[in-house]
């Protein structure tokens, strides 16, 4: 990327980086919060070489991981989500596609939440 003077880096973090996660999620939330700091620092470091660096932080997304949640009932989380539904992998992927595109050349060092308003 540096040799080409162009690049797009999109890191995936989590809503847990912002809200601390749930019970027994301290290590996970800390690692994801570290990803946010890494994203912001790296954006400053490689920006002069035409490289953008951003992070996407999903909330509750319908995936095999979340369908095996310890609670066993993802619908119990719906009252915490203002749009009253779980997100889809496609909604996360579409944001990542934008951030990886030429259209996002002035977007860098940012964190984007795909959470249905949950924070």
Q: Mind telling me the catalytic residues? A: 28
Sole residue written with tokens 């249905």: 116
Report in angstroms the alpha-carbon separations of 88 from 20, 22, 50, 64, 66: 22, 20, 31, 12, 11
Find the angle CA(67)-CA(70)-CA(72) to the nearest 5 degrees.
Answer: 55
């Amino acid at each position: 990327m540096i040799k080409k003077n162009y690049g797009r880096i999109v890191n995936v973090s989590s809503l847990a980086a912002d809200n601390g996660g749930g019970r027994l999620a301290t290590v996970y939330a800390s690692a994801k919060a570290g990803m946010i700091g890494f994203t912001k620092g790296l954006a400053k470091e490689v920006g002069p070489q035409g490289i953008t660096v951003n992070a996407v932080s999903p909330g509750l997304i319908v995936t095999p991981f979340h369908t095996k949640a310890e609670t066993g009932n993802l619908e119990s989380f719906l009252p915490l989500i203002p749009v009253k539904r779980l997100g889809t992998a496609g909604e996360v992927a579409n944001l990542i596609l934008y951030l990886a595109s030429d259209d996002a050349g002035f977007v860098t060092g940012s964190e984007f939440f795909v959470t249905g308003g949950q924070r």
